[in-house]
Amino acid sequence: MRPAKISLAFLLTALSTLAEDRPDPHRFIETIRLPAGQKAVVAEGDYEPRSLGSYSVRLYGASPGAPFDNFLDGTIRRRPNGSIEKVELADIDGRPGKEIVVVFRCVGSGSFLSAEAFAFDTKRPNFLISVHDLSKDANTTHELRKAWRKQKR
């Protein structure tokens, strides 16, 4: 009788440990297709609180039939207060092509927005510019463009 109790206790401990080690199924992760056929994956950091932590932008080369077999490069950044709300492509710097824009919404009162933009070439994403503490209904693309022009003066 005693070995059965020990086995049951061991099993319950193992199952609770596995449950603790699983990432949050509601964590933000999104894939966006880039104009040259590559894909970018933007994701909040595993096991972190939803309102703060890190996020990654990973770039994969065009590879039909195996879209994530050709990892090229990526970056991990500290997330502004809040969680990722959306990812989009927009022209921020006025050069040919569009940039990856990651938009964050603060989870506290006010629902303020922040956004960060990344230029990318065929091999890597490169941080471009960020804006923070915008009103909850701000046009993040417009604010990033304005910040970029101001920085270039």
> What confidence tens digit (pLDDT) does each residue in 91-103 have?
999 998 899 999 9
Q: 89, 30 in Cβ contact below 8 A?
A: no
Q: 102 with 42: CB under 8 angstroms?
A: yes
Calculate Rg over the CA atoms of the chain: 20
Listed residue (148, 78, 149) closest to 117, CA to CA: 148
Measured between its terminal Cα atoms, the distance across the chain in Å is: 79
pTM: 0.82
What letter does residue 64 receive in the DSSP assignment? T
Alpha-carbon gap, residue 84 to 141, rounded angstroms: 15
Task: Give the DSSP per-residue string, 75-135.
Answer: EEEEPPSSEEEEEEEE--SSSSS-EEEEEEE-SSTT--EEEEEEEE-SS-EEEEEEEEEE-
In this prediction, residue 18 carries a pLDDT of: 47
What is residue 94's predicted lDDT score, i.e. its pLDDT?
92
Least confident interval from 18-27, 36-45, 126-135: 18-27
CA distances from 19 to 7, 13, 24, 66 (A): 18, 10, 10, 30
